[in-house]
Structure 1
Amino acid sequence: MDSSDSSALSSNVAGFIDKSTNPKNSYCVDSLPVYVRELIAGGCAGAFAKTAVAPLERIKILFQTRTEGFHSLGVYRSLKKLINHEGIKGLYKGNGASLLRIVPYAALHYMSYEQYRCWLWSNCHFLGTGPVVDLLAGSAAGGTAVLCTYPLDLIRTKLAYQVVDNRQLFRNDINYACSSTTYRGVQDAFKQVYKERGIRALYRGVGPTLIGILPYAGLKFYIYEELKRHVPEEHQNSMVLRLSCGALAGLFGQTFTYPLDVIRRQMQVENLQQRGVRYRNTKEGLAFVVRNQGWRQLFSGLSINYIKVVPSVAIGFTTYDFMKSWLHVPSRPKSQAVSGM
């Protein structure tokens, strides 16, 4: 795309934002506290991005947890097989629980990032206002969001792990009878998991999640904001450039932390698997996987995660920036941005 095309697209986006906010709507929006507008923008960004890649998320979980009949297949064949067994709805199985988690998660993630960043600017002057602040604020925001919404992520994973042959086909070819526990929905899964070990069961696997999310969330915001700093001002509203910055942020951030995501998924579905292995902590889980499944298993599903995460993060950041403009969320003062470079 040349510069003229990019400028035209930027003008179209800016024009759409201007038309979507009449004086009456502006008054209603501006009457909301800034943090509420940030919550709304983050929630919308998370819901839109997660739904767009839900089928790929389902396949990734089946790969990571070594579900029988799926872990040795490619992405296309797995999608086709899943449709044969569960129909189109199977591609979105667990997405309801995922949205229940991602909306508050993304809302808290983006809002707390903005709040932590402002706090660091005001109280830690020695850090400046550059990329270090984005790294620290992003990490803290990721940890906050995880702690508040982790049980919903665990339930989503358990539901996505179950593959039920609704068409009575290939019954012996999939992991249908492996599980002694069958969940009928989000509410039923919550009840059964809570009966297992109480609150501790709802936070099973939170250790590797926190260890992974702190650097991932920090790197994601750091890379995105740093790339945006180098975009000329006349292209700041370009949707293509925002998507590109978000894609690169997701790509690099996910690569460094992916093995911890694999361990988290395996810990989340331990009670649904026949082998009965239980990891006491993240270090033990990493050692067990390398010793018994090979180091390649630590990156199982990484290719599909690239296909999923790159558009997901790109769509999420772009939607968030658009919603911030539409909701009139104050942007970072230019003087601070310049002084931090």
Structure 2
Amino acid sequence: MAAKDGATAFMMDFALGGFSGAVAKTLTAPIERIKLVVQTQDANPKIRSGEVPRYKGIVDCGTRIYKEQGMKRFWDGNFTNCIRYFPTQAFNLAFKDTFKKMFPKYNPKTQFAQFFGANLVSGGLAAAGSLCIVYPLDYARPRLASDVGSGKKTFTGLGDCMKKTAAGPGG
């Protein structure tokens, strides 16, 4: 019965952690969008061609996104960011436990250096493993969020972004 309680607790923690992370990411999405647009403006073809003027800073960017694109566009890329959160956390937890089993159990009070090293290595390997799996979402998120201009968007969504990116250079 204890194993079932442990699995239930894990699933509850996972679900609540994922939900709270998605809420936090949704609340901060406008700030993230403005940051990404300002950071990536030099690579944006619409800005490079002069079709869309450069952003002078974060206030100018936020004001122009609102005026030119509407309030909804502050959340461009947020869905991708939220769905990226769940598998990242799941794989980090699953992989860390898997990698941690490869090391002997160290006592943190008497063998702190070994305990710390094993945790550091297993955590790093877990993060690297999960990044290999969720990298396409990490790649798509800034491309979706930095799509600017009052006209037609470059990508209609996550699937379209991945399809166009796989089809050729720059989407």
TM-score normalised per structure 2: 0.70
Partner of 1:154: 33
Letter in 1 for 2:90: G
- Matched residues, number: 159
Partner of 2:58: 186
Matched, 1:248 2:140: no
Q: Alpha-carbon deviation of 1:255?
A: 1.2
| Contact 1:134–1:222 (Cα < 8 Å) also in 2 | no
Partner of 1:206: 78
TM-score normalised per structure 1: 0.39
Pick from 267, 292, 300 the counterpart of residue 168 of structure 2.
292
Partner of 1:29: none
Partner of 1:139: 18
Partner of 1:329: none
Partner of 2:138: 261
Q: Alpha-carbon deviation of 1:134?
A: 5.2
Q: Alpha-carbon deviation of 1:126?
A: 7.6
1:311-326 to structure 2, matched below 5 A, reads: none
Partner of 2:154: 278
Q: Alpha-carbon deviation of 1:135?
A: 4.1
Q: Percent identity?
A: 18
1:1-341 to structure 2, matched below 5 A, reads: 125=5, 127-130=7-10, 132-133=11-12, 135-163=14-42, 177-178=48-49, 180-224=52-96, 231-234=105-108, 235=111, 238-271=115-148, 277-293=153-169
Any stretches of 5+ residues in structure 2 without a counterpart? Answer: none
Distance 1:233 1:227, change over 3 A: farther
Separation in structure 2 between the aligned mates of residue 279 and residue 251 of structure 1, nearest angstrom: 28
SS of equivalent to 1:162: helix
RMSD of aligned Cα (Å): 3.5
| Contact 1:139–1:215 (Cα < 8 Å) also in 2 | no
Q: Alpha-carbon deviation of 1:226?
A: 6.1
Q: Alpha-carbon deviation of 1:203?
A: 0.3
Any stretches of 5+ residues in structure 1 without a counterpart? Answer: 1-123, 165-174, 299-341
Distance 1:188 1:176, change over 3 A: closer
